[in-house]
Amino acid sequence: MILNYSEISQRERTNLLYSTIIPRPIAWIVTEDNGVVNIAPFSFFSGISSSPPVVMVAIGNRQDGTPKDTLRNIRNTKKATICVVNENYFEKMKSSAEPIPSHQSESEVFDIEVERVEHDFPPAIKGVESAMFCKLHSEIEFEGNTTPIFLEVVKHFVDDSSMIDESLKLNLIGRIGKTFAKVIEIE
C-alpha cells in the first residue's frame, strides 16, 4: 500500500513516522531557569556532525502554542546538559515528561537527583554513564509546531568504566514507536 501524506491524517502521519524511525535515542535534557532545574526527555534527537560536534533536538510547542520549558531555557541561557538513559532511569525518565508548572523542578517533584559537574553548565543527572555539556549553536525557524535546535557539545562527562578504547560502551534504551527497547550489540 502507498500512503500519501497529503491524504492521511496528522495522527496517521505521526504514527507512521514514530514507528518507522526507530530506535530513537533519548536525550534527557537538563536546563536551568534562575535556579530552577528543568529535566525532560526528547527522542527527536540525533547527532549531526562530529566536526563541529553538533547534535539536533526537535522540540514541539505545547498545545497552547507556547514553547516548552526546555526550549525557553535554552534560548535564555544558551546552555543544556544532555544525559543518556539506561534501564535504571527508565521510570524517572518517563515521569520527567509529565508537564509541571515552570517554577517547579522535575528534580524535586520526581526525585531525580542531579549534581553539578561543570560550574558553567546545567547539572547532570546523578549516576548517568554519559552527559554532554552543550551550548546553543543555532535554531531553525520551521513551519508547523516544532523547533529544531542545534547544540554544540563543549565538554563530555563519561563514566570511566564505560570508556573502552576511546569509545563508550553504554547500555542505553531507545524509543520504538510508543514503547521502548534496550540497545543490544550484535556482530
Task: Give me the residues that bind ligand FMN (CB under 6 A), please.
Answer: 26, 38, 40-44, 58-60, 68-70, 94, 97, 99, 175
The nearer residue to ligand FMN, 17 or 163, going by C-beta atoms, is 17
Task: Report, in Å, the least distance between residue 93 CB and ligand FMN.
Answer: 7
Query: Looking at beta carbons only, is 26 or 172 nearer to ligand FMN?
Result: 26
CA 129, CA 88: separation in Å to the nearest integer? Answer: 11
* CB contact at 8 A, 59 and 68: yes
**Minimum gap (Å) between residue 102 Cβ and ligand FMN:** 7
Whether 3 and 9 have beta carbons less than 8 Å apart is answered as no
Nearer to ligand FMN, 178 or 187 (CB): 178
CB of 182 to ligand FMN, least distance (A): 14
State the minimum distance, in angstroms, from the CB of residue 161 to ligand FMN. Answer: 26
Question: Which residue, 71 or 131, has its beta carbon nearer to ligand FMN?
Answer: 71
Which residue in 153, 23, 178, 173 sits closest to 84, CA to CA?
173
How far apart are alpha carbons 145 and 27 in whole angstroms?
20
Q: Which of 114, 108, 38, 30 is nearest to 69 (CA)?
A: 38
Total count of residues recorded for the chain: 187
In whole angstroms, give the CA distance from residue 60 to residue 52: 25
Cell numbers 524509543 correspond to what residue? 175
Q: Indicate if the alpha-carbon torsion angle 127, 87, 42, 157 is positive or negative.
A: positive
Residue 26: CB minimum distance to ligand FMN, A: 5
Pick the closer one to ligand FMN by CB: 23 or 53: 23
Q: Which is nearer to ligand FMN, 42 or 89 (CB)?
A: 42
Residue with cell 535515542: 25
The nearest distance, CB 122 to ligand FMN, in angstroms, is 12
